[in-house]
Structure 1
Amino acid sequence: MKTPLRLALLSALFTTTLAQAADLIPIDVHRDANCGCCKKWISHLENNGFKVNDHVETDMSAVKQRLGVAPRLNSCHTAVIDGKFVEGHVPAEQVLALRKRDDLLGVAAPGMPMGSPGMEMDGHADAYQVIGLRRDGTDEVVADYPAH
């Protein structure tokens, strides 16, 4: 292959890769170093168009408190997108929906629901809800996921 053609192809590939990277949605994930399901949830986000900034923490309770996660909503990891919290194994579609909800401080999948992203287990899934925390401190069910 002639050098000008090779350079043109490499340039096109590089430009395409940069454009794809620019389209990724940035999100910060705070997690404990020893949590395997957190890494699986991060993979779920990355497979759904997010650019994850992974922060390994030594005191997740302090992180949750700083970000305003109510104890009733706690799970194992906490993310931040557009200044709002995402607590636990929230599906990517609900993280995207949160970005359009100015009335919510964040969303959570409390506990560690079996079958939620990162908690998949042999095709078994428990029913769970994604809860939104409104600015007035009240909760709202933003999504229901059935058992199967």
Structure 2
Amino acid sequence: MRKSFYLIAGIVVLSAVIAINAFSQNSTPESSENDWNRAITLYKTQYCGCCEQYIAYLRENGYNVEVVNVDDLPALFDKYRVPDDMRSCHISDLGGYFAVGHIPAEAIDKLMKEHPAIDGISLPGMPSGSPGMPGNKEEPFVVYALKDGNAEVFTTL
């Protein structure tokens, strides 16, 4: 009788373990920063030197960067609805978001960790001392969140 009890209890426990394991493998957990493979596709013109420096910066910070040279960068800005005053020398696709300009890694990581309901981010112009740009940082970098062509402050670094 006892042997039957232990055998049945063992089967129940084993079945529960198998069921829990199957459920956890088939469920899709919420996306997190750790799930992001840090893949960036950066679009730039062929001869942009500061873009090359920014690409090196991104790679040094652990991003997987694919570079695509384009002839018509303004057309990409139009496609992503980036206002004229939020444009720079390149635009990146982060898989669900875009990023314009020489944005510090901290702002990209914040974007991918928080997953805000925006289209992308921009550090407009080419501020001195920003990643990939020569010179010293002269003032805080204001990174803007862009949604439907409108901009508001995302973070200040």
Per-residue deviation, 1:126? 2.2
Percentage identity across aligned positions? 32
More strand by share: 1
1:89 aligns to what? 102
More helix by share: 2
Per-residue deviation, 1:44? 0.9
CA contact (8 A) 2:83 2:150 kept: no
Give distance in 2, aligned partners of 1:142 and 1:102: 10
Give distance in 2, aligned partners of 1:82 and 1:40: 22
Give distance in 2, aligned partners of 1:39 and 1:110: 18
Give distance in 1, aligned partners of 2:53 and 2:146: 24
* 1:1-148 paired onto structure 2 within 5 Å: 24-99=37-112, 100-121=114-135, 124-127=136-139, 128-135=141-148, 137-145=149-157
Three-state SS of the structure 2 residue aligned to 1:45 is helix
Three-state SS of the structure 2 residue aligned to 1:104 is coil
Q: TM-score, normalised by structure 2?
A: 0.71
Give distance in 2, aligned partners of 1:85 and 1:24: 15
Three-state SS of the structure 1 residue aligned to 2:119 is strand
Give distance in 2, aligned partners of 1:132 and 1:44: 22
RMSD (CA atoms): 1.8
Runs of 4+ in 1 over 6 A off after TM superposition: none
5+ residue gaps, structure 2: 1-35
Per-residue deviation, 1:84? 1.1
Question: Considering only CA atoms, is the larger Rg found in Structure 1 or Structure 2?
Answer: 2
5+ residue gaps, structure 1: 1-22
Q: TM-score, normalised by structure 1?
A: 0.75
